[in-house]
Chain A
Amino acid sequence: MKKILAMMLAAMTAVSLAACGGSPASSSAAPESSAAPESSEAPAGVVVSSVDDLKSLAIGVQAGTTGETYVSEDLGLTPESFKSGMDAALALKNSQIDAVVLDEQPAKSIVAQNDDLTIIDLGLEPEEYAIAVKKGNTELLDSINATIQKLRDDGTYETLVNTFMPADGSEPVVPEALPAGGDKPLILGTNAAFKPFEYVDGSEPIGFDITMGQYIAQDFGATLQVEDMAFDSLISALQSDKIDFIAAGMTATDERRQSVDFSEPYYSSKQVVIVKK
């Protein structure tokens, strides 16, 4: 039995090494195979200078985002919906799709970590991020609005923006967690694959929204708990009381307003396009 196990392990190692050796080979082989008609436009980087150029491409988006709505409704295309923008970017790197439509800041973070990707700004409609609470939960909503106003007034908001979105594009230095405002739990629902607003780097979710959530919990006299779930599950989780509020770089759209109540907007963003260089 031990022999069999040892052989299995050896085989696994061999397979993983082969896979490793294979990936650089396959990436260097990509330009050769580009002679094939289907991927002829990929290696040189697709040319996207207007919205019309998008219409002939295979576009990746994050499921449940405004990017998905934009591609499917405004462009009339069928987007490739991934669980996260990062997964969409990974598929783009592997040339499985031609472009990714994603919110500006997360797109910047992705491009900062991947030399072979670049951002194209088509000047799409700006959109406003806001915090969502269950319909009718005015107590929490008022408290959240008060906190946002306070942060804007005392300059904390400015500091937060500079911390998480440094102008030089460097890695954010995450501030210490704030002390809790009380014992009762306040549950923040998010999708921690949206750097710099929320992401996991290490073991716990961190980011702009998480730190803002800590301020909100503090002012609400509560302890912040973070639930990291799929972006397209957040609103249903809010409605079934699994979470108390959503801070997930969520744009306050009219469709969403039918299901949840939004706070005052706290960040202005827009959709951009990521393509291979």
Chain B
Amino acid sequence: MASLGEQLYTCLIAKERWLLILEGLGNTLLIALGAIILGTLIGGILALMRLSNNWLLRGISYLYITIIRGVPMVLQLMIFYFVILAPIKGMPKMVIAIISFGVNSGAYVCEIFRAGIQSIPVGQTEAGRSLGLNKWQTLGYIVLPQAFKAVIPTYANEFIVLIKETAVAGYIAMRDLTKAADLIRNATFNAWIPLLASAVIYLCLTLGLAKLFGTLERRMARSDRR
């Protein structure tokens, strides 16, 4: 067996294979970032629909969550790629990936937001309304700011899960970080260096993200009377 140095050289340096990893990392980040933005938008709207007094809106939101949460992500990705978005020829794979991961994430984000909003005691809403704020003002100035603080940990968790879920993007010919490891494994017949290298990169990404959200959480907690 070749020495560690030689193996590292063959897997990462030779034939500029590190470029594959870099390209994969870029795609993974782009998908995750786009998907979390789309997911947050969808999730926010769905959460409000879920809590509305209108039975139709509640029903739509409930149906969406039931379907999306009940189907494996990798299947959803392929359904979007091969079926739903297939008629739109020339749509970039990146957009398809962001849409499918975002739509999926939206269902989870909705539940996170709903839990956050419902965790605010109803007395807060009552107080706001009795001070003369209307329904939307109460929501915007009283409930949501407090709910926002409450959901940061679970929201961060969703982001972290999403980054790791993008590893299935290879199914629709995307070159994400996992696919880059595949390509290197196929070219070098070395399994552990490319796999461990991408594992370490995923770990660094999620560590960094956890730290970022941790800081945000501490900042938000400054005004807490505890």
On A, residues with C-beta under 8 Å from B are 1, 5, 8, 12, 16-17, 19-20, 23-24, 27, 83-84, 86-87, 89-90, 93, 110, 113-114, 192-193, 199-203, 227-230, 233, 236-237, 240-242
Q: Among B19, B20, B182, point to the contact of A83 (Cβ < 8 A).
A: B182
**Chain B residue with minimal CB distance to A22?**
B192
Chain B binding surface, main DSSP class: helix
Can you show 20 pairs from A to B with CB atoms below 8 A apart?
A23-B192, A27-B1, A83-B182, A86-B186, A89-B189, A90-B185, A90-B189, A93-B189, A110-B189, A193-B186, A200-B183, A200-B187, A202-B15, A227-B173, A228-B175, A229-B172, A229-B173, A230-B171, A240-B81, A241-B86
Of A8, A19, A236, the residue contacting B196 (CB under 8 A) is: A19
A110 partner residues in chain B, CB cutoff 8 A: 189
**Which residues of B lie under 8 Å from residue A240 when comparing CB positions?**
81-83, 86
Query: Counting chain B CB atoms within 10 Å of each CB, which of A5, A93, A240 scores highest?
Result: A240
- Nearest 9 Cβ contacts at the A-B interface: A240-B86, A229-B173, A86-B186, A202-B15, A193-B186, A24-B1, A200-B183, A240-B82, A227-B173
Chain B contacts for A230, CB-based, 8 A: 170-171
Interface residues on B, range: 20 to 34
What 0/1 pattern do residues 160 to 191 of B give for CB contact below 8 A with A?
00000000001111010000001101110101
Question: Which residues of A have CB within 8 Å of B82?
Answer: 233, 236-237, 240, 242
A230 CB, min distance to chain B CBs, angstroms: 7
In Å, the complex CA distance between A229 and B7 comes to 27
CB distance from A195 to the nearest CB of B (A): 9
A5 to chain B: which residues have CB within 8 Å? 207
Q: Once the chains are docked, how many angstroms separate the CA of A125 from the CA of B23?
A: 41
State whether the Cβ of B200 lies closer than 8 Å to any Cβ in chain A.
yes
Q: Confirm or deny: B71 has a beta carbon within 8 angstroms of a beta carbon on chain A.
A: no
CB-based contact B172/A203 at 8 Å = no
User: Contact: A241 with B89, CB < 8 Å?
Assistant: yes
* Chain A residue, CB-CB nearest to B91: A242
Determine which of B15, B172, B175, B200 lies in contact with A201 in the assembled complex, contact meaning CB atoms within 8 Å.
B15
Cβ B191 vs Cβ A90 within 8 A: yes
Chain A hits for B4, CB < 8 A: 17, 20
Return B178 CB to nearest CB of chain A, in Å. 11
Question: Shortest Cβ distance from B176 into chain A, in angstroms?
Answer: 12
Q: What residue of chain A has the Cβ atom nearest to residue B184's Cβ?
A: A200
Please tell me which one of the listed residues A12, A87, A202, A241 contacts residue B185 in the complex, with CB atoms under 8 A apart.
A87
Contact among B7, B20, B87, B170 with A203 in the assembled complex (CB-CB below 8 Å) = B20
- Residues of the B chain whose Cβ atoms lie less than 8 Å from the Cβ of A20: 4, 7, 192
- Beta-carbon contacts under 8 Å, B74-91 to A: 78, 81-83, 86-87, 89
